[in-house]
Chains A and B, each alone.
Chain A
């Protein structure tokens, strides 16, 4: 398992190759690999986004991400899992989050990757602050009517 909060821009494909080569557990049993990559857009809620700052709660965030992967190991019988999440100042096209799971069969890996990602969005303590042409704004979750707190 790998859980990492990363402060610099990262190459998700290089990271996956390196993980598979050096750390992936029981890879001779793996029949399915599922990968989700989230990247930063240059627009949100009808506004251009210039940069985005991602903040987290050190300690609690890593604890929650570890819990999410451990829960998936139990629930979906995945063989291994990885979550890498960027923090700090991002620009459009930067990778934000990489989730990968490996299992014997595809359903387990598909379902585990999706559940880790959805739980991360609702439980892991990260916060986004976007810079627009009108200043900055804290982003609220989409399930909260896409409300945005405007500040300048």
Chain B
């Protein structure tokens, strides 16, 4: 399945890109996508994850066409 992955703030700096399309097997989780794009490194403890603009946890199971985002804790206001 195809997942649109987006990165913000220092996660984007860390990975050197702001988005990409990832092909991954059915049943993959958000954490599984992180492992793929970060060459197997563990998902950072304080990272926030959203799917289709809603917060989810790392074990969230993705669907084809989802927009998945990784970003650090927020600092607005």
Chain A interface residues (CB < 8 Å from chain B): 38, 54-57, 59-60, 63, 85, 96-97, 117, 120-129, 138-141, 144, 149, 151
Contact = CB atoms under 8 A, between A and B. Distances in A.
Contacts, number: 71
Nearest to A118: B77
A141 B77 contact: no
Interface string B1-15: 000001011100100
Contacts of B9: 55, 127, 129, 138
Interface in B24-65: 46, 48, 50, 53, 55
Contacts of B75: 121, 126-128, 138-141
Contacts of B46: 144
Interface of B: 6, 8-10, 13, 46, 48, 50, 53, 55, 69, 71-77
A59 B4 CA distance: 15
Given A60-B50, A149-B10, A151-B13, A127 B77 contact: no
Contacts of B72: 127, 138, 140
Contacts of A97: 76-77
A10 to B, nearest CB: 15
